[in-house]
Amino acid sequence: MSPFRNEKEEPLLPSSSPSQSARKTRFTFRVAVLLAITLFVTARYLPSCIHSHFSGSLEVEDGVLEAQCPQPDTLVPSKNADLWNELVKGDYKTKVFLDRAVEWLGGAVRVPTESFDKMGDIGVDPRWEAFGPFHDYLLSAYPQVHATLSLTKVNTYGLVYEWKGTDESLKPLLLAAHEDVVPVNPDTVSEWEHPPFSGFFDGEKIWGRGSSDDKSGLIGILSAAETLIEKGFKPTRSIVLAFGFDEEASGLFGASQLAVHLLATYGENTFAFLVDEGGDYMNEFGQTYATPGIAEKGYLDVRVEVESPGGHSSVPPPHTSIGILSALLVHYESNPYTPRLNRGTPMYLKAQCLASHAPELPSPLRTALIKSTKSDKALREAETYLFSDKFFKSLVGTTQAIDLIQGGVKTNALPESAWGVVNHRIATDSSLSEVKEHDTNLLFDLAQKFNLSYTAFGENLSDDSKAYYGKLTLSDAWGAGLSPAPITPTGLGDDAKPFQLLAGTIKATYDLHRGGDDDKGVVVSPGIMSGNTDTRYYWKLTPHIFRYNHHFTGDTGFFKTVHTVNEYIEADAFIEMIQFFTTLILNTDESTVV
């Protein structure tokens, strides 16, 4: 029965009586009034609602947005204002200084300093000797630095410079970089537009291996120091420079020993903050973002090894060790880690900065991020949007990649063993133990299926009374597993003063070099490094570690040319890096809050 009909299916408003006509008239009047009110409200508010929900406007809930990604003020030197103006607004903008800077970096590139995996000890492996000529180059290129700063060589090729300040009560500033570069594949030399160690300058770009990663950082720091000394600057706060020489090979000989020296010399938590290579700044969703890395993922290479009886291949078993290993590795790839975007993690903070300041961010994503601070449902909605970007997703979760495999020695001999290595980059809110437990559980059933005894990370998970066909072993491939790095404080609280100083410096450098009347400035957002830097060894020196070198990359990102053919840096971007390090040194020197 229809709810709009009476039991006899008669009209609710028949027109047969005067009283009914009056009621109908009153009803019509009320409808007209309601319609008028509706039209007024629609005309008044609908356009702004449409604009807010479909254009990506930042006008809605500005206070909420700002609170989710607060921005410190631009910071320029005051005590050293005249010196800063003379250098960054004067000398650094001249053709004379451009030529000088280009030659500084080009000369560094022309000294090959390749580091390789699994190098032998210093003094034994001759490949280390490449760093001697590089030290000679630095000595000739930066005479004032070497005449003013004390230099200690650690493990022969590690460099620690100390620029002594006049006030020893102030915590020093620590600036880091690395001398080495990834090797150039000889088979790709012909693909380079300019030879990989030419340091060629074409009028716009400086070409060559290390021009971007990371000789630009090292040379940028030394160039800033050299020019400051030439102008008579004497620091109040000590400044320490630490340059490793095998960062591209995990820093086992370089930064690891530099850390021992720095801890022995200065002690734990004795530096105001540390800046090493890392995040750049680029355009995202209509806004320029600088992303200092405030954390790094953990790292674990899991060796998966299968052992089984050998024999002649003419009488094969159902599964050889290679076949079993293949099944195990396929099972890995069929069961990837499930990433989760969690509140408080660096990439969640980055997402909040996108919601707060990016005018072209899709409106549904912005709305979900605003609500995600309190709503789990909204957090999962935001996660779904963000994880459509493969790079963002990989930075959030624990990843796995099968990078090495080996097995067998001859075509007519059954392989007695086969192994593969699964590389993990561990999410900032996970741990080494969690990854080991996950991988152990992942392969447990398959170990039973193939009748293999099972040892995982030193723990025997087998029944010793049972006879097994073969053996499965999981282990830390190189014994170099690394926990996720401590997260550096950010925001506007007292514990984040170093972040505020760095962010203010980034803003000042950007505004000076790239800002304009129609420019929206730069937003400083927390981020993480996709790999691990030398800072993995420096956690005890300070809780304030930033991976950032103020490298402008436009819309392309840092990874376009590093570690591959045709590596380069724009000369204009390199000048800006020198401006950044100069401003950072001066701002930190006169700071009373770090």
Are 338 and 442 a contacting pair, CB within 8 Å? no
| Proportion of the chain in helix, strand, coil states, percent, rounded to 5 | 40, 20, 40
- Which helix (H) or strand (E) segment holds residue 473: the answer is strand 470-476
Which two structure tokens, joined as six digits, stand for 419? 């192994």
Burial class (CB in 10 A: 0-12, 13-18, 19+), 138: buried
Residue 157 CA to residue 335 CA, distance in Å, equals: 43
Burial class (CB in 10 A: 0-12, 13-18, 19+), 57: middle
Which two structure tokens, joined as six digits, stand for 589? 């020197």
Q: Is 180 a catalytic residue?
A: yes
Q: Which of 179, 180, 213, 383 is catalytic?
A: 180
Beta bridge partners of 240: 162, 174
| H-state helical runs in 231-320 | 255-266
> Judging by DSSP bridges, how do beta strands 273-284 and 173-178 pair with one another?
parallel
- Taking the alpha carbons at both ends of the chain, their separation in whole angstroms is 77
Q: What are phi and psi of 516, to 5 degrees?
A: -160, 180
Sheet of 459-460: strands edge to edge? 399-407, 417-426, 298-307, 470-476, 452-456, 459-460
**How many alpha carbons lie under 13 Å from residue 116 in its C-beta half-sphere?**
15
Residue 122 CA to residue 78 CA, distance in Å, equals: 46
The total of other beta-carbon atoms located within 10 Å of residue 170's CB is 18
By residue count, the chain amounts to 594
The total of other beta-carbon atoms located within 10 Å of residue 563's CB is 14
> For tokens 């045709």, what's the residue?
566
Secondary structure (DSSP) of 24-93: HHHHHHHHHHHHHHHHHHHHHHHHHHHHHHHS--S-TTHHHHHHHS--PPP---STTHHHHHHHHTTGGG
Q: Which of 213, 214, 247, 284 is catalytic?
A: 247
Long-range pairs for 555-564 at CB < 8 Å and ≥24 separation? 555/282, 555/283, 556/282, 557/280, 557/282, 558/212, 558/279, 558/280, 558/282, 559/530, 561/212, 562/212, 562/213, 563/182, 563/213
Are 425 and 403 a contacting pair, CB within 8 Å? no
Burial class (CB in 10 A: 0-12, 13-18, 19+), 119: middle
* Cα 145–chain centre separation: 31
Residue 563 CA to residue 487 CA, distance in Å, equals: 27
Residue 358 CA to residue 361 CA, distance in Å, equals: 6
Residue 566 CA to residue 212 CA, distance in Å, equals: 11
Q: Which residues are catalytic?
A: 180, 247
